[in-house]
Amino acid sequence: MYALVDAVAFYASAEKVFDPAIRSKPVVVLTNNDGCICAVCPIARKLAIPKFQPYFQVKKILEDNQVVIRSSNYELYADLSERMMNVIGRFCDNQHIYSIDESFLNFTGFKKLIHDWHRYGHDIRRTVWRETKLPVGVGFGPTATLAKAANHAAKKLPGFDGVAVIDSEASRVAILKAMDVQDVWGVGRRLAKKLKVMNINTAFDLAEQDPRKMKRLFSIVLERTVNELRGKSCLAWDEVRQDKKEIFSTRSFGERITDATALKTALINHCVIVARKLRAQGSHTQRLLMFVASSPHQDGYYKKSYIYEFSVATADSCVFANAISEVFDHLYKPGVRFYKCGVGALELSSQMFQQPDLFQTPIDNPKLMKCLDSINSRYGVGTLAIASETPTTRWHMKRAYLSPHYTTRWHNLPKIHC
């Protein structure tokens, strides 16, 4: 049995934790740079406020409905996420954190025999609320995809109070029949459109298809999904939590930038993040992609990328930074108003199997990186940084509606007025 536990409109709920005054109000949270709406609380959802709509396009609707607006406060969300995951993790010793607000629990071989999954689910919900003031939904199912489907039912279908269980053929059929095919994990807008032309409208319709036929018509990904919906586990536990095959760090700027130094510093910051994530999963790369771009929404769209090939696979921040300095002139173009840039490591391989170069002295310094990582993990990321990371010019993120970092900065501690 699997469970999927996730928070209801996590970012919006997180904003309400330390600000009870807005708990009964409609709240939305914006993406980086206040670009789009990325979280809509249940109260705001009733006002039909669309997710992932550019903010400036719905400004009027938000004002008219007196919706509370918040900029993304990742420092707060990351901290609350960690607390929430710790509480959830107490309910199963095999937990896989899938995203900032979702975690799968695998009860295969669980030490405790659970007779009543409903009750167990409500236990989780109650405990998470009591200890973190975050509302969660819980779904149980014999495969990860069915647990996801149950979780969807728990939160969206009437008659479920935040917990849904698929533990019989009857419950599987009932929940899948009530679920639009587009809400299935792995089926997006485009795929749903094609499926609906074939008269496959609900999750149940999809589950009734021949998996091999779906593979032939669409992809191996959909074949797996169909099998999972039929109760056959295809996303093996260790596959759900497989190492990443590529790792990116990209970001748009709060304001357009034209300055070469600022752009270069931004790229170096991204490559440092990528390098850190690579080391964290024990991977390294021989190919590093770097790109810069102007706004695709405006005329004269400029986009340039470069793939740097190292002679030996590495995850060394300094080596990455040097690579960027080396090829930066190929990317930068004076006069362009840069909107976005990023760095990605492609074709990752395991650090356990490094193939050194016979004729060259090593280009990287794993000991130095290990030292850097342990200092930063102890005293916080950024405590120790490479010199070229430090911004000489400010490029800030636009966050006009930022809430305080209640839990991570002393001067942001919530104050209680008596």
Partner DNA sequence: TCTGGGGTCCTAGGACCC
**Binding-site ranges for DNA (CB under 7 A):** 10, 31-33, 35-36, 38, 52, 54-56, 98-102, 148, 184-192, 219-221, 242, 244-252, 277, 295, 297-298, 305, 307, 339-340, 342, 344
Give whichever of 61 and 114 is closer to DNA, judged by the CB atom. Answer: 61
Beta bridge partner(s), residue 348: 285
Tokens 């109760």 locate to: 231
For the beta carbon of residue 278, count every other beta carbon within 10 angstroms.
24
Give whichever of 301 and 368 is closer to DNA, judged by the CB atom. Answer: 301
Looking at residue 243, what DSSP letter applies? P
- Rounded CA gap, 6 and 100, in Å? 9
Tokens 């009870």 locate to: 20
Task: Report, in Å, the least distance between residue 219 CB and DNA.
Answer: 4
Task: Report, in Å, the least distance between residue 184 CB and DNA.
Answer: 6
Structure tokens at 200: 């496959």
How many residues are listed for the chain in this entry?
418
Task: Report, in Å, the least distance between residue 295 CB and DNA.
Answer: 5
Give whichever of 1 and 348 is closer to DNA, judged by the CB atom. Answer: 348
Q: Coil, strand or helix: which one is 68?
A: strand
Beta bridge partner(s), residue 110: none
- Rounded CA gap, 169 and 271, in Å? 49
Give whichever of 31 and 407 is closer to DNA, judged by the CB atom. Answer: 31
Looking at residue 202, what DSSP letter applies? B
Task: Report, in Å, the least distance between residue 221 CB and DNA.
Answer: 6
Give whichever of 20 and 188 is closer to DNA, judged by the CB atom. Answer: 188
Picking from 373, 408, 404, the residue whose alpha carbon sits closest to that of residue 78 is: 408
Neighbour-count burial for 289-298, b at 16+ CB within 10 Å, e otherwise: bbbbbbeeee
Give whichever of 219 and 383 is closer to DNA, judged by the CB atom. Answer: 219
Task: Report, in Å, the least distance between residue 303 CB and DNA.
Answer: 7
